[in-house]
Amino acid sequence: MSPTLSLFLAVFGALLLAAVLLDDIAARIRVPGILLVLVLGLLTENRLDALPEQGPPLLSLNHADQIAQVALVLVLFFGGLTTNWRELRPVLRPALRLATLGSVFTALLLTLLVLSLSRAPLPEFAISVSLPLALFVGAMVCSTDASAVIALLRPLRGHLPRRLIDLIETESAFNDPVAVVLAGLALAMASGQASGSPADLMAVVIREFLLGALMGFLGGSLARQLLAGRSSASAPLLPVLSLAVLLLLVGGTQLLGGSALLAAYISGLVLGNAGNCDRPLLVEAHAGFAKMAELMLFLCMGLVVQPEDVVREVVWAVLLFAAMLLVRWLTVQLLLVNSGFDPSAKLFVACSGLRGAVPIALAIQAAASPIPWGRQMPPLALGVVLLGLGLQGFALVPLARRLGLTGRA
């Protein structure tokens, strides 16, 4: 093993260990763990001066993008694996409306807002904003993060209405693929790969979406057949087999032109609802994989973004965050009509739309691409995520108590 590789392993091992400790501390003091991990990454210098030639970057954008894509696969697969159709059936319709129509509605409204602000007669907004850039910004922040919300609500787990928790979890599980597809469309438009008519663009998106869903179903069914009926003696191999099928599925789907991330989620959904597999063992194993992936994802974001870049984008980040809150409230009010949720529950759902892993991964993907405005996305995404975790995160539990939602379980 070369000294360079040894040093890289030691540094990343130390950072990952620190991230785990910070996540544990955050759980005790009821602070979003990913907030502390992001700060850790920001405070870590992304250069290794001890290495020859004045030290290369600890993590390049291309490597960060590759890590982020793999991490997102593991996170989405785990999200599908832990989704129980029977338990979520009472909230399936309103959750799907929020996850699909709500995400598209949010992305489009934010796109229009970004385009409008770029034409405002103020020096802070006097920049050239194209439609692909505005669409990417809207898509990047249109999905919510279930793990961040549920981690914050853990102290109230047995006190909040179960139907309310199920709605938030189900929406967050289903809206990630929508954000990924919309962001991919924006990147394709910006790079000139989608220069055809709107009908051609829509056909490409639908094909990618349907192919990803089909491959995910086939991959989940294959994993179910491989894992079904195995004895307890082969239990240690179950996570290995499921992970192997997942890697094969994701790579094959991407090569065929489908949505690999959607395929990962659908395969987890199929496998998690199979009655002939050891679901608790799979969930336990992949919970560790997903947690490691999430920590690495936020560490990567903090490493490739400089704090001063976040400060430069703070005006846009604050405006985008405020617009997100308004659009989120409007979307929830419109799409939860006649859903059985009272005004207090709707307000809580509107305020619980924290952003997390998906905006981070999409921003890194844009930065690693040759698109000129890609480098601006990580600081903007990081600013929005930090604002959400810092403001919404601390207010969520007190808000639930203030609205009288606790004790209704």
Q: Domain of 231: which CATH number?
A: 1.20.1530.20
Q: Give tens-digit pLDDT for 31-48.
A: 777 778 888 887 877 665
How does DSSP classify residue 340?
A: S
- Asked whether residue 291 is assigned to any structural domain, the reply reads yes
- Asked whether residue 56 is assigned to any structural domain, the reply reads no
Is residue 266 over pLDDT 60?
A: yes
Q: How many domains does the chain have?
A: 1
- Asked whether residue 82 is assigned to any structural domain, the reply reads yes
Is residue 330 over pLDDT 90?
A: yes
- 79 SS3 class: helix
Q: Give tens-digit pLDDT for 115-162.
A: 887 665 555 555 667 888 889 999 998 888 766 676 666 666 667 888
CA dihedral 131, 316, 261, 14 (to 10 degrees): 150
> Average pLDDT of the chain?
80
- Asked whether residue 339 is assigned to any structural domain, the reply reads yes
Query: How many whole angstroms separate alpha carbon 225 and alpha carbon 322?
Result: 47
- 320 SS3 class: helix
- Asked whether residue 92 is assigned to any structural domain, the reply reads yes
CA dihedral 29, 345, 330, 314 (to 10 degrees): -10
Query: How many whole angstroms separate alpha carbon 261 and alpha carbon 243?
Result: 14
Task: Tell me the residue length of the chain.
Answer: 409
Query: How many whole angstroms separate alpha carbon 376 and alpha carbon 366?
Result: 9
The DSSP secondary structure of 264-293, one letter per residue, reads HHHHHHHHHT-TTS-HHHHHHHHHHHHHHH
**Token reading at 57:** 């970057």
- Asked whether residue 300 is assigned to any structural domain, the reply reads yes
Q: Helices H, strands E: what count in the chain?
A: 19, 0
Q: Give tens-digit pLDDT for 185-205.
A: 888 888 765 555 556 666 776
Enclosing domain of residue 163: 63-402
Query: How many whole angstroms separate alpha carbon 30 and alpha carbon 407?
Result: 19
Of the CA atoms within 13 Å of residue 279, those in its CB half-sphere come to 15
**Token reading at 130:** 């194209």
- Asked whether residue 24 is assigned to any structural domain, the reply reads no
Query: How many whole angstroms separate alpha carbon 258 and alpha carbon 209?
Result: 7
- Asked whether residue 335 is assigned to any structural domain, the reply reads yes
